[in-house]
A and B are shown apart, each in its own frame.
Chain A
């Protein structure tokens, strides 16, 4: 803990320095506060319990993902994308595969497109289920919500394990399709999970949605206005909770998303409660998409046979592939110079960009709210510091 006077050992520009700031307290929350994820910390200036200023400090994981990818072959970057956001390795795979497919003009077979949608929506389900669990954990409801969320996540991870061989680092998609055919009986297991999942959502709603403590802790807290959200480039559930109808699945219609009938849930106030509710409703929409995809999935090849795995060299050019990951717009920008590795490789991570407005969401609220607001942004540090 630090007092008002700036001390010499602060590496950052001290926040509480200007005159008239006497009585303010600058504290560093994290990086090992239980509710800050990974190496993240917040430099907060407090007036009593109120947050006056806040500076998110993302820390240094030193992953160097983008530079590593520039010196590795196109294929060798695929397993690294898993590690960007370990809650959504399959959607990360898809975003990268999409960028490479655009770059090289590859056509993906029908069946693979359906498999991609199924795995991506399952990813969204388990991501949101755990995010809400963590959010409640951060609010002090340790135990039930997080455990219930994890219980559902486990069933979905079992499916991923059966399909890809790994629970979290799936490394499943390939340019032009998917790596392996679905194991026998896999689709039936998915069907079972999809039919049982709404029961969990109902359970969650019973447990939480009308809980007076939850309402008191979330409604009107951490409000983010529509205009500011748009200006800040925020995407995903955080943006939609502020009432902006923007979902890449509808706007860009990548893959085969134009074939499915689903709605985009929107919030009104952009507060913590809306961000929670948008995620709950989004899970119900994902179930709808999954039902349609499971009904329509055709037989056929799962990968374009013309695409080379080894020695893949796209023509010189550039491409940007983007998808709606569970956290927002995840994009990969690639420049090819015709060699076996990308000349430039850049990730547009939703977590990092959503974090930029943390101060605006937290200003004026108390420290306890700060933790909850931070929880609703849903970040993974691997994606923040690539």
Chain B
């Protein structure tokens, strides 16, 4: 009969309309900014640089290898390498960035920089409220603006950060063991062949 299809449709709309008053999961409006949806742990908006310890400048993990600069698809990272070296996160002397800028107005939030960084130095932030009235200066972030502590990283990506810490600790332990072995070798060589064998047996290798 003509009109039954329309009537059926109207029943459906009515059901949805009144349903939104009784069913909790149909009330989906969030009163932003007073109310906020929890962010997914995987959320990625713009990159930041991780530093260990309390001082952002000396604690930066970045060694200015410039891999992320090369791989960034829209080329929005600008790095200048230092002339001297300082110890990095695992304790090896490394270069550090004297300039590390990201133009966030260009960044496409793709996370390629995070993936290619061999030093766990750059990670994705979940901050999304970036509006500024200064389009050019305000969205070109320098290394101080980009630096965030490891604690902060743990807050926003707990699972990932724990894994990263474990991996870094393992690397550091390896590096320490190697340094130790390198230190003990000349001593062993000086104290004679018999001692060297016993030394070798007890070493970490």
Contacts and interface: CB of A to CB of B under 8 A. Distances in A.
B116 interface: yes
Interface in B1-49: 2-6, 8-9, 11-13, 16, 28, 40-44
B42 A212 contact: no
Interface residues of B, number: 29
A206 interface: yes
Nearest to A148: B16
A207 to B, nearest CB: 5
A320 to B, nearest CB: 23
Contact of B73 (A79, A154, A203): A79
Interface stretch (A45-53, A70-78, A95-103, A230-238): A70-78
A165 B8 CA distance: 40
A162 B8 contact: no
Contact of A210 (B5, B41, B109, B115): B5
Interface string A153-164: 010001001111
Contacts of A165: 40, 42-44, 111, 124
B71 interface: yes
B199 to A, nearest CB: 36
Contact of B5 (A163, A179, A212): A212
A214 B5 CA distance: 9
B116 A309 contact: yes
B110 interface: yes
A166 B28 CA distance: 19
B8 A210 contact: yes
A interface: dominant SS: helix
Contacts of A218: none
Given A162-B40, A165-B111, A210 B4 contact: yes
Contacts of A162: 40-42
Contacts of A78: 110, 112
Contacts of B124: 165
Given A162-B40, A165-B40, A211 B73 contact: no
Interface in A161-186: 161-166, 169, 171, 179-180, 183
Contacts of A215: 5
Contact of A79 (B4, B40, B108, B116): B108
A171 B109 CA distance: 10
A72 B110 CA distance: 14
Interface string A57-96: 0000000000000001101111110000000000000000
Contacts of B73: 72, 76-77, 79-80
A9 interface: no
B126 to A, nearest CB: 9
15 contacts: A72-B73, A78-B112, A79-B108, A79-B110, A144-B13, A165-B40, A165-B43, A165-B111, A166-B43, A203-B12, A206-B9, A206-B11, A209-B5, A211-B8, A310-B71
